[in-house]
Structure 1
Amino acid sequence: MGFSNRIIRHFDDVLDWTPVRKSLLVLVILIVILVHYWAFQLYQMYFPSKYINYDFLMGTQWGLPLIIFLGVLLIYFGKRLEDKDWAQQLFAYLSTFYYSITLVILGYVIGLSNMTTGLVMAGAPLFGFVLFQRKIVYAAFSTATVMILALSTLSAYGYIPYAPLFKPEFFYAFKARPFYLLCMIYFALPHFVTIFGFCDLFFIRWRQRERNIHHISITDSLTNLYNRRAITHCLENALAQNAELVYPVSVVLLDVDFFKKINDAHGHLIGDKALQVVAATLQSTLRKADQVGRYGGEEFLIVLSQTELEQAVIIAERCRVAISNAYVSDEQDQRLQVTASFGVSCSEQCGYQLDKIVRQADKYLYEAKHQGRNQVVSILNTIRT
């Protein structure tokens, strides 16, 4: 398994995590970002650039370690509160406010009018909306926005310096531009990786969920075939598409013989196994383009697009023989034969109306059961065992 797949599996159920656990994830990400910034600070302390405000750097040298320590402390308490119901929302608020306020402070230090601030302002709320309730994200984002506006206003009117990490002449020196660009790339990099990386993971998980939900919505859980709604939709589409080209559509409706007796004599588990055997037999016998679903109880419906009645009867007979050759073992390991009765109809005789073509197939199915079961009946003839 590749590294990316291991990461995806680790965060596979992140959307189902508790708010505290999600908050711990946010805090860990922030600590990594802070350590990234701290590495820049340490490098400049020992190898200072001529564009760095060294006095400010040394005067605030313990600021980042203190913020990191507070983050680690929050993680410690979060781990202890992870299973506490009362702490879920409270800790989510605390962690998101810590995240947003910390990044605003760091943004002020390096300058609020740059691509790093824009990336965080655009990406962090998106990241937050995936993890937390909207009110939590709005509260933290609103606070951060007010702080940014206040700091920007104070900087614009000269009450506080803009980007105090850098010397004032830094922003006017043409030769400083490459250094400034490298600094901004350095500061933006961890935000870019975490925001876009985790959002990608979350959306992968979301897409997987959507596929799973769609599969559940169209699948019969017992037989793993289409459920009634899905197979009816397949028939509707087949009739609509083939009606335009005047291609025939055939419908096969089948019912497991004496299914109630199987349930009464051997129990519902054996009855379920019988349905599963029939479903598996139909899947292995039908063509790839054919569609089959559980229509209700012990009934199955098969949609045969671009198939004339004569060919549909042959396919139904092939399925009948395959089912009669299958068996189910009961609790005493005795083999129970399973048979089914089939009714076949076709749009060539019934037209392309769904109700009419299904009603005709149901009519022939009733005749097959009335005439002795385990046979295929259509308007053409009756094929007996």
Structure 2
Amino acid sequence: MGFNNSIVRYFDDVLDWTPVRKSLLVLIILTVILVHYWLFQVYQTYFPSKYINYDILMTLQWGLPFLIFLTSVLIYVGKQVKDKEWAQQLFACISTFYYAISLVILGYTIGLSNITTGLVMAGAPLFGFVLFQRHIVYAAFGTAAVLIIALSALSAYGHIPYGPLFKPEFFYEFKARPFYLLCMIYFALPHFITIFGFCDLFFIRWRQRERNIHHISITDSLTNLYNRRAITNCLEASLEQNADLAFPVSVVLLDVDLFKRINDAHGHAIGDKALQVVAATLQSTLRKADQVGRYGGEEFLIVLSQTELEQAVIIAERCRVAISNAYVSDEHDQRLQVTASFGVSCSEQCGYQLDKIVRQADKYLYEAKHQGRNQVVSILNTIRT
């Protein structure tokens, strides 16, 4: 489990890698695949099967080592130019085409009409779309597809042999089927692991990024509460859900008292701390089912689902007391008391219309301000301690 987590952490920002760094990853994967095929070649050199075309095997004995060497050279070059702006797209194009053509060569050698080729044709473009710009992937995939079609047509009409690494009976004899199956599994294994394994890692990161983007889109960065749009959506959803059941929904709108004076006297940094203290106090005071967000500036909105007005006023009063008992340290480490005024409305009095219930809470909030601040006002009465 720890090893898997380490891999995920290493590729955590893979979508943000530079094109050259992504290309180096592709070339390293290709190196692993080439070494995997080369091990098969070495084994068959010393322990040949009767279905292996030994003459072709000897003719091509330096082919795979040459490709491995060439790939290593490209990796070296990529490391040298990884920070060069001009090399980003150029090296990505070269690496992608080289990857595609190398796999076509390997595919032709073992036969193009098999599960390995199908796996690569289906998985490699998906792998590429995650990493590179789509026009690069389309160009490389299109080139590979044209080569595969051309080689398949030439072999179908007898102009070139099909799967020259193997003797013809390898593809037709019943006795060769177990060996054929083992070979195809062996050749397909590195493609399956790299393509689907890395795509899984990439999509883990993609899902994490989507969750982060969603969190950012609904969160106020200063207070870490819902932002205005998100808390408004919460209120709208609560009103819709409870309207059919005739359950009450209450809204509390609060405003930090004399906030401009705090900013003017102590600076915006202290003002920001005051808002953070208020936000933290609200979160710790409210119930788990209650929803709170920064409505704008120094205003906060609380959604109390299935809560009658009397209970909402009690909750608002509890929040008022908690805020007045909190404090912010100024630039001289002196404690500054923070207070807030509250307006409370409920669907029992003004219905389930979002604009109306917020407007009513805003009306009572301004009454609380007018009556001296640091108090809760609703249609019922003013509660003070």
**Which whole-Å CA distance do the structure 1 matches of 2:113 and 2:23 have between them?**
28
Show CA shifts across 1:166-204 (max 9, x none): 111222211100000000000000000000000001100
Q: Please list the CA deviations of residues 28-71 of structure 1 after superposition, one character each: whole Å capped at 9, or x if unmatched.
A: 00000000000000000001111111111011100000011000
Helix, strand or coil: the match of 2:84? Answer: coil
- Output one character per residue of 1:184-226: Cα deviation in whole Å (capped at 9) or x when no partner: 0000000000000000011001100100000000000000000
Paired amino acid for 1:224: N
Normalised by the length of structure 2, the TM-score is 0.99
Provide Cα deviations, 1:247-306, integer angstroms capped at 9, x if missing partner: 000000000011111111111111000000000000000000000000000000000000
Match in the other structure for 1:57: 57
Amino acid paired to 2:258: F
1:347 partner amino acid: S
- Other structure's SS at 2:333 match: coil
CA distance in 2, matches of 1:171, 1:333: 84
How does 1:297-316 map onto structure 2 within 5 Å?
A: 297-316=297-316
Match of 2:115 in 1: 115
Equivalent residue, structure 2, for 1:96:
96
Distance of 1:362 and 1:93 partners within structure 2: 59
Partner amino acid for 2:28? V
Counterpart of 1:346?
A: 346
Could you tell me which amino acid in structure 2 is paired with residue 290 of structure 1?
D
Aligned residue pair count = 385
Counterpart check, 1:222 vs 2:222: yes
- Give the equivalent residue in structure 1 for 2:256: 256
Q: Distance in 2 between matches of 1:293 and 1:88?
A: 43
> How far apart in 2 are the matches of 1:293 and 1:301?
5
Determine the structure 2 residue equivalent to 1:327. 327
Shift of 1:384: 2.1
Aligned-partner SS, 2:226: coil
Whether 1:15 aligns to 2:15 is yes
* TM-score between the two structures when normalised by the length of structure 1: 0.99
* Pair 1:192-2:192 in alignment: yes
| Structure 2 Cα separation of the partners of residues 300 and 106 of structure 1 | 64
CA contact (8 A) 2:376 2:382 kept: yes
* Aligned residues: CA RMSD: 0.7
SS at match of 1:277: helix
Q: 1:175 and 1:15 mapped to 2: Cα distance? A: 47
Matched residue type, 1:165 = L
Counterpart in 2 of 1:336? 336
Distance 2:363 2:171 in 1: 86
Matched, 1:266 2:276: no
C-alpha contact (below 8 Å) 2:110/2:164 kept by paired residues = yes
Alpha-carbon distance in structure 1 between the residues aligned to 2:100 and 2:364: 70
Q: Distance in 2 between matches of 1:57 and 1:339?
A: 84
1:231-257 per-position Cα deviation (integer Å, ceiling 9, x unaligned): 000000000000010000000000001
Where in structure 1 do 4 or more consecutive aligned residues deviate above 4 Å? none
Structure 1 unaligned runs (5+)? none
Aligned counterparts, 1:285-296, within 5 A: 285-296=285-296
Mapped to 2, the partners of 1:279 and 1:145 lie a distance apart of 58
Please say if residues 115 and 188 of structure 2, whose CA atoms lie closer than 8 Å, have aligned partners that are also in contact.
yes
- The answer for the alignment partner of 2:127 in structure 1 is 127
